A = this chain, B = another copy of it.
Amino acid sequence: MNFAVLGTGTVGRTVAARLHELGHHVVIGTRDPEATRARSGDGSFASWADEHPGIGLAPFAEAAASAAIVVNASSGGASLEVLGEAGAANLDGKVLIDIANPLDFSDGMPPTLLYCNTDSLGERIQHAFPGTRVVKTLNTLTAELMVRPGSLPEGTSVFVSGDDPEAKATAAALLKEFGHTDVIDLGDISTARGTEMLLPVWLRLWGALGSPMFNLKVVR
């Protein structure tokens, strides 16, 4: 399957590398590939890309155009702008897996949410791109566990929210490829409010446990 992963940060790199490892064709989208490649040093995209040959890098629009499934791994506050650069025409009819959180760091740590309770990033994206089939998922755990949940000592839960049942089935199949065993369909895209609002307790759990290597299991 052809994937575009929008975003060159830790989340985007981790998801892209795992998709590539699973045999998918992956292009990472960025605003300006030359600028992204030009940044150097430890943790730079260039040094990561050297270790991950076979993963493409292209402008957002070109990456989205090349893909059947697009993953939004940009930072939540920039996601609508990033998707606008990707272009509605390049996203039309496609499954968009939105794993971003609308975190607001402007008042320091811990961040708050840019919007919540009566709104969510997932809904804003679906509303801005009505021809795209948005599925909110994977925004409730750290990048490494998104794609390799088997690192934890037992199975845990992930959630999908979206208006299109077929798109949610596509996302769920991908989650199972990653190793997830309990995928819970919460309902339409407005249920993304619930998973985005998990972030405050998730961030506090990270603090309390001293590590982001945890996930929630819905025991029933």
Interface residues of A (CB under 8 A from B): 112-113, 116-118, 152-154, 156, 159, 184-187, 191, 193-195, 197-198, 200-205, 207-209, 211, 213-220
Of A152, A159, A200, most buried by chain B (CB within 10 Å of CB) is A200
CB distance from A125 to the nearest CB of B (A): 18
- With known contacts A219-B152, A220-B211, A201–B198 Cβ distance under 8 A: yes
The residues of B that contact A201 with a CB separation of less than 8 Å are 159, 186, 191, 194-195, 197-198
The residues of B that contact A197 with a CB separation of less than 8 Å are 116, 197-198, 200-201
Q: Tell me the interface secondary structure of chain A in the complex.
A: mixed
The residues of B that contact A193 with a CB separation of less than 8 Å are 200
Complex Cα gap A191–B209 (Å): 14
Complex Cα gap A168–B1 (Å): 51
Say which residue of B113, B185, B202 sits within 8 Å of A208 (CB atoms).
Answer: B185
Say which residue of B118, B185, B204, B217 sits within 8 Å of A216 (CB atoms).
Answer: B217
CB distance from A189 to the nearest CB of B (A): 12
Can you list 12 residue pairs at the A/B interface with Cβ under 8 Å? A152-B219, A154-B219, A156-B219, A186-B207, A187-B204, A193-B200, A194-B200, A194-B205, A205-B218, A214-B220, A216-B216, A216-B219
Complex Cα gap A159–B216 (Å): 13
Complex Cα gap A159–B204 (Å): 11
Flag if A214 contacts B219 (CB, 8 Å): yes
- With known contacts A186-B208, A194-B200, A205-B184, A216–B213 Cβ distance under 8 A: no
Closest to A184 in B: B208
